[in-house]
Amino acid sequence: AAGLTLNDGVVIDEHARTSDPAIVAAGDCASKYISRYGRRVRLECVPGATDQAKLAAATLCGKSKSAVSLPWFWSDQYDLKLQIAGLNTGYDEVVLSGDPTRDRDFSCFYLRGGELLAADCINRPRDFMFSKRAITQQLPVDRAELMLGGLARS
């Protein structure tokens, strides 16, 4: 109704601005280009909503704030802490650390051409923190090190 440009959601730029300079958008309704994945994504998650809200608030206050945004998610399901870094699409290899049939903590790392694209971490906060950084900064990763899991990294 406001005449904003739409593409699966309200199209926003890296400053949470819509096609109308007087309107910002954030959260589930907003569709943002994520350069790390080369495509537009509309996230439905709390971290995405709060990160975009900070950008929108900065824009409204005239403080241009641009951040490298990596999609990430979390959920607590009973004793399982699920933490997901990045988007696990377009991968050509999965490296598993731990045994999901036996362990209450394990991680799945998704790679493309040897580069880390995403990680699903179950009760592995250190793997999650490492993955967020490695994906954002496009750090080289070692498969053997990934398989050893978070305890191998300080």
Ligand X SMILES: Cc1cc2nc3c(=O)[nH]c(=O)nc-3n(C[C@H](O)[C@H](O)[C@H](O)COP(=O)(O)OP(=O)(O)OC[C@H]3O[C@@H](n4cnc5c(N)ncnc54)[C@H](O)[C@@H]3O)c2cc1C
Q: Which is nearer to ligand X, 7 or 138 (CB)?
A: 7
Q: Which is nearer to ligand X, 9 or 149 (CB)?
A: 9
Residue 8 corresponds to which amino acid?
Answer: D
Which residues bind to ligand X, rule: CB under 6 A? Answer: 27-28, 44-47, 49, 73-75
| Least distance between ligand X and beta carbon 77 (Å) | 8
Paired with 110 in beta bridges are 94, 118
| Least distance between ligand X and beta carbon 141 (Å) | 25
| Least distance between ligand X and beta carbon 30 (Å) | 8
Q: Which is nearer to ligand X, 25 or 146 (CB)?
A: 25
Q: Which is nearer to ligand X, 45 or 58 (CB)?
A: 45
Question: What span, in angstroms and rounded, lies between the C-alpha atoms of 92 and 117?
Answer: 10
| Least distance between ligand X and beta carbon 117 (Å) | 19
CA–CA distances in Å: residue 139 to residues 17, 72, 116, 117, 142: 30, 17, 8, 11, 10
SS3 content of the chain, % helix, strand, coil (to 5): 25, 30, 45
Q: Which is nearer to ligand X, 52 or 97 (CB)?
A: 52
| Least distance between ligand X and beta carbon 94 (Å) | 23
Per-residue burial over 131-141, b = 16 or more CB atoms within 10 Å of its CB, e = otherwise = bbebbbeeeeb
Closest residue to ligand X: CB criterion: 27
Question: What span, in angstroms and rounded, lies between the C-alpha atoms of 42 and 119?
Answer: 19
